[in-house]
Chains A and B, each alone.
Chain A
Amino acid sequence: MSALTFTLKTAPQQRVDLSALTPDALADKSLADIAAIELPSGHDKPRVDTLFDISGDDASDIVIKNATDRLDYIGHGMRSGRITVHGNVGSYLAFKLRKGEIVLHGNAGDFAASGMAGGLLHVHGNVGDFLASAIIGERRGMKGGTVIITGNAGERAGDQMRRGLVLIEGNVGSYCASRMIAGTIGVMGTTGEYLAYGMRRGTVLLNNAPKLHATIQDCGSHTLPFLSLMFKSFRDLPTKFAAVNRNRVQRYAGDIANDGKGEILVFK
């Protein structure tokens, strides 16, 4: 069996919702059935085969080629298998992902990993704003799983994040970890303004000293034993964080305007 491959014929004029193309949704479908699936796109519902050339037959291993930033909701609610995407994608990548693995070789738009509850999202590129955050009207962002971004993330990464692990090897924009409820965010590069604004609980792990606002408080330098445990849990992840093994950090707590039980740990 070879990977079920969708090769985009031409870039669509409208945004296309690819929620229907997940391994579990396609598990028992024939190629003809898959070709006939209608994908929401503006006012239209184009069939899959009008947008994509389809090849292969293993629905548990889906490959999307020639992707563009108008393809939204890739891996929406996925519960098993693997999706590999080549090219840029639109918003809501790995939206409400439950289980399985999504690997993107390209850049993603806003709200990647929003509402994600499990599994792995690995982006070899940059992501837009609101990574692992709550969509408008939701009160919780990412609820579990692991996100690895090899490039940069935009603003509001981890907004209202509830649980899980986000590792960003590049830089992040402003308001990273804003209103964060719990979980862990690691950033190897730089962070923007208002880091941890309204942060309630959780951990932000930084390589570079951030610019902090007034309601984040310095708690001094510490050697924290739990970091050994955390880095051990990173060992098998495909990220530069897997090689980190330092547990001497400067600890900042906050946002004290919102309970103040969050922490920003900066490697010494």
Chain B
Amino acid sequence: MIINGVSIDDTFAEAFGMRGTRVIITAQNLKWAYNAAQAMTGFATSVIACGVEAGIERELAPEETPDGRPGVSILMFAMGSAVLMKQLETRMGQCVLTCPTAAAFSGLEGGDRINLGKNLRFFGDGFQTSKVFGGKRYWRVPVMDGEFMTEETTGMVRAVGGGNFLILAESQPQALAACEAAIEAMKKIPNVIMPFPGGVVRSGSKVGSKYKSLIASTNDAFCPTLKGITKTELSPEIESVMEIVIDGLTADDINKAMKVGIAAACELGAANGIKRISAGNYGGKLGPFLFKLREIMSGDYA
């Protein structure tokens, strides 16, 4: 399969079941909603060392938020419910409770109910109060800027993490430009985040290492500088490879995001040095979700 001169590999991305949640952060204005949200989703690129993978899903207009203020929605994913609950609570406490004017609300109606502000209320040292509106409990915690308001719980659902594709280009700037175009398009898709910096990861990994203490190491088959000394996956003209990782609430959401992302990268085409699209997998034996690139690009997902 070739799209605008870009070869689409006959391969697939291999993804795993995760637990996901959505939190709505509002504040006096978007600037402060972003300050809280960026802190909350900071250091949340990979579950390998961060505990969760998190990102900002989209901006919310005042009429879309529970309290009528501008806000953003955050998606957060972890390999298990215990980790997700712990990380959510920790990040709420350090990043949203602390952020001036910020408030937090549930972003998922269904699913299992997990603590959002339920335990943060104890920061109020006995001065906290709760209110129930429309069957939902909210906590008001007195803080120095006024009151911190948070919904008691949010929803947790079974989700999918680790959807990905690789962009192989003739130069580093060209690979990055294609990634930027892909991320811009993918940001418009609901229910997904691309957790790495700017949505892009340059240090794709393989399982295992020559060092016994490491569980993952550099994906040497896709490292352009090792073309001559390793069992490379790269043809001579490829000088840079970058990966986009996608976590989504459902496999279908990831399908849609991959389709528009790959399409955006391919739009730049071979004329801009984009040569191939590939994907990372473990042979299809580990992850229950397989996202086959050619099927996605020939299907009707976006």
Contact = CB atoms under 8 A, between A and B. Distances in A.
A232 B127 CA distance: 24
B116 to A, nearest CB: 14
A184 B67 CA distance: 18
A48 B103 CA distance: 55
Interface stretch (A14-22, A31-39, A150-158, A218-226): A218-226
Given A201-B129, A203-B131, A229 B67 contact: yes
A223 B28 CA distance: 12
Which size bracket describes the interface of A in this complex?
10 to 19
A163 interface: yes
B222 to A, nearest CB: 49
A212 B267 CA distance: 71
Contacts of A228: 67-69
Contacts of B131: 184, 203, 226, 229-230
A118 to B, nearest CB: 10
Contacts of A233: 133-134
A164 to B, nearest CB: 9
Given A223-B146, A224-B146, A224-B147, A229 B129 contact: no
A225 B129 contact: no
A230 B133 contact: yes
B138 A229 contact: yes
B66 interface: yes
B66 A225 contact: no
Contacts of A203: 131
B132 interface: yes
Contacts of A163: 132
A222 B66 contact: no
B138 A226 contact: yes
A261 B127 contact: yes
A229 B105 CA distance: 11
Interface string A47-76: 000000000000000000000000000000
Contact of B147 (A184, A201, A225): A225
A223 B69 CA distance: 13
Main secondary structure of the interface of B (DSSP, over half): strand
A228 B133 CA distance: 11
Nearest to A232: B68
B92 interface: no
A261 B129 contact: yes
B149 interface: yes
Interface in B99-154: 101, 103, 126-127, 129, 131-134, 138, 140, 146-147, 149
A229 B149 contact: yes
Contacts of B133: 229-230, 232-233
A137 B223 CA distance: 79
A163 B101 CA distance: 28
A232 B146 contact: no
Interface in B27-72: 66-69
Contacts of A263: 129
A229 B138 CA distance: 10
Contacts of A223: 146
Looking at A201, A203, A222, A226, which has the most chain B CB atoms within 10 Å of its CB?
A226
Contacts of B138: 226, 229
Interface string B88-106: 0000000000000101000
A232 B67 CA distance: 8
Interface in A179-199: 184
A22 to B, nearest CB: 23
B66 A229 contact: yes
Contacts of B101: 225
Contacts of B67: 225-226, 228-229, 232
Looking at A184, A201, A224, A233, which has the most chain B CB atoms within 10 Å of its CB?
A233
B125 to A, nearest CB: 12
A233 B68 CA distance: 12
A122 to B, nearest CB: 18
Interface in A68-121: none
A222 B146 contact: yes
A201 B67 CA distance: 23
Nearest to A163: B132
**Nearest 6 pairs of A and B residues by beta carbon:** A233-B133, A228-B67, A229-B67, A228-B68, A233-B134, A226-B149
Interface of A: 163, 184, 201, 203, 222-226, 228-230, 232-233, 261, 263
18 contacts: A163-B132, A201-B129, A223-B146, A224-B146, A224-B147, A225-B69, A225-B101, A225-B147, A225-B149, A226-B67, A226-B138, A229-B131, A229-B133, A229-B138, A230-B133, A232-B68, A261-B126, A261-B127
